[in-house]
Structure 1
Amino acid sequence: MEEIVKQPSSLKFAGKLQDYKLLIKFNLSFMVVFSALISYLLAPKVKEFDWVSIGLFFLGGMLVTGSANTINQIVEKDTDALMKRTANRPVASGRMSTQEAWTFAVLAGIGGVLLLWHFNFLTAALAAFSLFLYAFVYTPLKKVSSISVLVGAIPGSLPCLIGWAAGNDDLSIGGWVLFALQFFWQFPHFWAIAWIAHKDYTTAGFKLLPSNEGPTKYSAIQAIIYSLLLVPVGVLPYFIGGENGGMSGMVGLVVVSIANLAMVAQCVRLYREMTVKAARRVMFSSYIYLPVVLLSLLASKTQ
């Protein structure tokens, strides 16, 4: 008779914790909430760091984003199972039931929206709208048309407006400038990922690149166009939003301009080389771009 070896409870807890980390796509959620938090701190009405408010905002943002990512994994569990990069996700692999995932998604979504209501109704409403748009419009649209990337860029940029609304109690021009920066940034960022994982995405039935033929010159040109749009948008924080003529100072202007030109250069390189290696450079550049740009704006924020 075989002896049944019981897994220690500490290992079970660690495994479950890891599954929930995968479920909410922790790294992605953190990056999303990071952009929202910096946008909150950039709002002119926020004059100092209130760590209680920052903590509440961060927790609320993580819950809402985690809920959206959980629903995404529930809806895509069958296609996730087909792709190497996503097959180990808890719902796709069968380690977590869809019922458990739905329970978490509902509780996290409601809890996150209520926490953000602490700031104002506008913040909570935008968060709820972003969750709905990402989970129930963008996610199923990925199998229908590459227009899903455009649709997905809206909830992907709303964290900037959510943060601005929380800090400034309105949707004034500064928030829309930050929205535009993150909106245009997403296209070269996401298309680079889709370029690298094209075979996986095609196997799963996702249509994400702008060209129906996949990684083509047309797709690379589109990445260049959207990276070029970042250049004029990037100078706007220096000229609008603050009492002294801008929501951010000269340091922000210089750093953002250099970062924008670097993104354009990487996208042009992708067009010239047409390789996965070049696409990976665009992807890594985009990962660096966002924190550098947002932190430089915050560092030179005008009062």
Structure 2
Amino acid sequence: MNRTLTNTVKPDVISDFKEITKMRLAVSVVFSSVAGYFLGAEVVNFVVVLLLAIGGYLMVGASNAFNQVIERNLDAKMNRTKNRPIPAGRMSVTTATIIASLFTILGIVVLYIINPVTAMFGGISIFLYTCIYTPLKRVTPLSVFIGAFPGAIPFMLGWVAATNDFSIEPGTLFMIQFFWQFPHFWALGWWLYDDYKRGGFFMLPTGKRDKGTAIQIILYTIWTVVISLIPVFGVTGRLYLTPISGVLILILGIGMLYYAFKLYKNKDEKTAKQLMFASVSYITLLQIIYVLDKFIRIWI
């Protein structure tokens, strides 16, 4: 019986740990950071890649755990979050706070081993997400603007980890992911509007699922694609993109823009969900194309 009980409990503990740190989101952030590192590194150091992956996971895990501690009462009101470890009663606030605090300390230490600038940006990301973005979500739609800063840090963090320097190249990577945040989160906010409303969160720029929000989604999608193509013109230092890769990214952007216009036309949850997934595909494939473009040019 004890063996059966142990086998029942362990998966729940693991599942709760994954949930409190939002493992899937953390893995996507690590992916962005590693992509940025490969773009910035002249010689790839796999020890640094490992440290960046660990530090990145700890950084995101800390932010998410603090977020769930702060929003525990609000999470209990929303369908998509009411089964999280704290509102469901499977994890205490104290335990979650300890996890978040340890992850913060360990994450900054690990990133500091890479270089101090990387650790600094990691610390800024945790602070902005936890102390500014999270409280503002119930106050103003401008919270998405604040949240876009920590959300945009991972891609450029990898370049900083490779170079110990912030310049036009990581600045460009930052701007790509910064502008991408808006159509991504507004699509998510539109899709889950009713659930967010139950929690008292203001995510859409106009506060409503209307033409004004849809137009802003279209505009920020266009800006995202335009900024993504700037490296094609050779004005972003060592960050360069060949015209062929530029065309591929333009095609991806047109696909994302298609769903943005479709949302303007339909104004429904289904299309918002499609746009949200299209945005995830866009940023993931963009990062893959950027990295492959660099190494194919080196090999050729």
> TM-score scaled by structure 2?
0.94
Counterpart CA distance in 1 for 2:109 and 2:2 is 43
Match for residue 47 of structure 1 among 42, 61, 84: 42
1:264 aligns with 2:257: yes
1:37 aligns with 2:34: yes
CA contact (8 A) 1:252 1:293 kept: no
Correspondence list, 1:230-245, <5 A? 230-238=224-232, 239-242=234-237
What secondary structure does 1:90 align onto?
Answer: coil
Structure with higher helix content: 2
Aligned residues: 295
Once the 2 structures are TM-superposed, how far is the Cα of residue 6 of structure 1 from its aligned partner?
A: 8.3
Counterpart CA distance in 1 for 2:63 and 2:91 is 17
- 1:242/1:210 CA distance change after superposition, 3 Å: closer
Counterpart CA distance in 1 for 2:291 and 2:245 is 8
1:11 aligns with 2:8: yes
Counterpart CA distance in 1 for 2:106 and 2:280 is 29
Cα RMSD (Å) of the superposition?
A: 1.6
Once the 2 structures are TM-superposed, how far is the Cα of residue 191 of structure 1 from its aligned partner?
A: 0.7
Long gaps (5+) in structure 1: none
Identity %: 36
Counterpart CA distance in 2 for 1:190 and 1:242 is 30
2:248 paired residue number: 255
CA contact (8 A) 1:248 1:298 kept: no
1:216 aligns with 2:213: no
Deviations 1:188-235 (CA, angstroms, capped at 9, x unpaired): 1111111111111111100111113x1111110010010011232111
CA contact (8 A) 2:51 2:114 kept: no
Once the 2 structures are TM-superposed, how far is the Cα of residue 261 of structure 1 from its aligned partner?
A: 1.8
Counterpart CA distance in 1 for 2:66 and 2:240 is 36
1:229 paired residue number: 223
1:161 aligns with 2:185: no
- 1:94/1:7 CA distance change after superposition, 3 Å: farther
Deviates further, 255-264 or 221-230? 255-264
1:72 aligns with 2:63: no
Give the AA of the match of 1:300.
D
Once the 2 structures are TM-superposed, how far is the Cα of residue 93 of structure 1 from its aligned partner?
A: 1.0
1:180 aligns with 2:166: no
Long gaps (5+) in structure 2: none
1:278 aligns with 2:275: no
Deviations 1:102-128 (CA, angstroms, capped at 9, x unpaired): 111111111011111111100001000
Counterpart CA distance in 1 for 2:235 and 2:37 is 16
Counterpart CA distance in 2 for 1:254 and 1:267 is 20
Counterpart CA distance in 2 for 1:218 and 1:232 is 21
CA contact (8 A) 2:37 2:158 kept: yes
Once the 2 structures are TM-superposed, how far is the Cα of residue 161 of structure 1 from its aligned partner?
A: 2.5
Correspondence list, 1:119-138, <5 A? 119-138=114-133
Counterpart CA distance in 1 for 2:49 and 2:217 is 34
Once the 2 structures are TM-superposed, how far is the Cα of residue 8 of structure 1 from its aligned partner?
A: 2.0
What secondary structure does 2:264 align onto?
Answer: helix
Counterpart CA distance in 1 for 2:277 and 2:146 is 23
Give the AA of the match of 1:228.
I
2:97 paired residue number: 102
CA contact (8 A) 2:66 2:100 kept: yes
CA contact (8 A) 2:168 2:237 kept: no
Counterpart CA distance in 1 for 2:248 and 2:136 is 36
Deviant stretches of 4+, over 4 Å: 4-7
CA contact (8 A) 1:194 1:208 kept: yes
